[in-house]
Structure 1
Amino acid sequence: MIREHATRVLLVEDQQLIRRGLAMLLATTDGVDVVAEAEDGLGALDVLSTTTPDVVLTDARMPRMDGVELTARCTRDHPGLPVLVLTTFDDDALVQAVLTAGASGFLLKDTSVEELGMALHAVVEGGMVIDPRVARAAVQRKRTVDGPLAILTRRERVVAELVAQGLTNADIAARLVLAEGTVKNHVSALLRKLDERDRTSLALTLYKALGD
């Protein structure tokens, strides 16, 4: 897939050696550019006040502000900015906390550089990436969230709300300042994830779910 520009990454990691190592490895990854670094969540929020990355790549457990709280703050204050959590910890409670906070992905630190690069691109494009080794916890979280919309990404949820209002793809594209083709891809994902055959039934399902 041809990208117009490199994926701009804010790297957040409290251990300097690991942070520098990740930055060096990502520098060798095609289409990835580490534009800023921070040693914890508070530092990352300071960076976000002056820098506009495409994605935040963060550790989960850090002093002052951890990755869970950082994810929640990004979800609230920087909607549309995906957060990918990269950590050595794989306990179910952490996975569920991170995803509940709004993370777009969760990977373990022994993942390959190639897989990490692909994951960064995927979440920027609106996808969700979960390490297969922690997928069980992710599924358990989905089952505990009420309604059919729990499986949607943040961007899909925003599009879903506009589809429920009856807006066309062109209207949604104009509202969200997106290419119409991007909106079409999101709608296709909604149809697939919610197992609906056409846009009318999709809109009805979404209207009902969002109205509950």
Structure 2
Amino acid sequence: MTSIKALLIDDHLMLLRGLSLLFDTIDGIDIVATTTDGSQALTLAREHRVDIVITDAAMPDTDGLAVVTLCAPHIPTLVLTTFDDASLVDRLLTAGAAGYLLKDVSPDDLAEAIRAAVDGGLVLDPRIARHAWASKSNDREGELAVLTRTERVVAKLVSQGLNNQEIAANLHLAEGTVKNHVSALLRKLHARDRTMLALRLSKAFGQ
């Protein structure tokens, strides 16, 4: 199996070195470049042809949000930080971050999250996921109010983690019809992908 090549960014040099040593213990993930300067993110990522960028959130000048804005359209960007801040999570995910993890995450969970992000997934630390959209809690019913009755039924099943085939079987609909409803949900709720949609709907339904 080809190793995942990663760029690691943290403005604290000692933390950067410590994280690099941690990754030395993780099979299949190689830190090919490091920097304390977030403004170098895209240049280094392209130079080393990395598969993922892993960055701190709070940094002077070019912070994690700026790094995500620079890199996320081109390369999955995972935020690894000490800050458990719902509004920051929302801004980062809206900007295109592939995930948000706290720095005390276990090496195994970190490795799994990186692999998932490289594969196109959205990863959130469970301690953050439960309130990732807490700042929008007052708007939940307003969000669902834009849905048709059928879309709301489909949305409920999406929030439970069912795929299109399973939803079609449950509702006795054609799979193509379900796909169209899910596309409408993504558009109406301004969700970047299905994972974000499911998480947002789970909060909206109070699950």
* 2-structure distance, mates of 1:105, 1:211: 21
Residue number in structure 2 paired with 1:125? 119
Structure 1: 5+ residue stretches without partners: 149-189
Residue number in structure 2 paired with 1:201? 177
Native 8 Å contact 1:37 1:44 kept in 2: no
* 2-structure distance, mates of 1:24, 1:209: 43
Q: Structure 1 residue 192 and structure 2 residue 163: aligned?
A: yes
Q: 1:211 to 1:34 in 2, by over 3 A?
A: closer
Native 8 Å contact 1:191 1:199 kept in 2: no
CA displacement 1:163-212 (0-9 Å, x = unmatched): xxxxxxxxxxxxxxxxxxxxxxxxxxx97279742531134225645777
CA displacement 1:10-32 (0-9 Å, x = unmatched): 10111111101111110110111
Q: 1:203 to 1:6 in 2, by over 3 A?
A: same
Secondary structure at 1:137 match in 2: coil
Residue number in structure 2 paired with 1:40? 37
- 2:103 is matched with which residue: 105, 109, 128? 109
Secondary structure at 1:49 match in 2: helix
The Cα of 1:140 is off from its aligned counterpart by: 3.7
The Cα of 1:141 is off from its aligned counterpart by: 6.8
TM-score of the aligned structures, taking structure 1 as reference length: 0.67
Residue number in structure 2 paired with 1:11? 8
Q: Structure 1 residue 73 and structure 2 residue 70: aligned?
A: yes
AA of the residue aligned to 2:92? V
Q: 1:123 to 1:49 in 2, by over 3 A?
A: closer
Secondary structure at 2:5 match in 1: strand
TM-score of the aligned structures, taking structure 2 as reference length: 0.69
Fraction of identical pairs, as percent: 40
Secondary structure at 2:54 match in 1: strand
Q: Structure 1 residue 62 and structure 2 residue 59: aligned?
A: yes
Aligned pair count?
A: 165
- 1:49 is matched with which residue: 29, 46, 50? 46
* 1-structure distance, mates of 2:164, 2:60: 37
AA of the residue aligned to 2:176? T
Aligned-CA RMSD value: 2.8
Native 8 Å contact 1:99 1:138 kept in 2: no
Residue number in structure 1 paired with 2:155? none
Native 8 Å contact 2:87 2:133 kept in 1: no
Native 8 Å contact 2:32 2:50 kept in 1: yes
Structure 2: 5+ residue stretches without partners: 145-160, 169-173, 189-207
- 1:97 is matched with which residue: 91, 107, 128? 91
* 1-structure distance, mates of 2:45, 2:136: 29
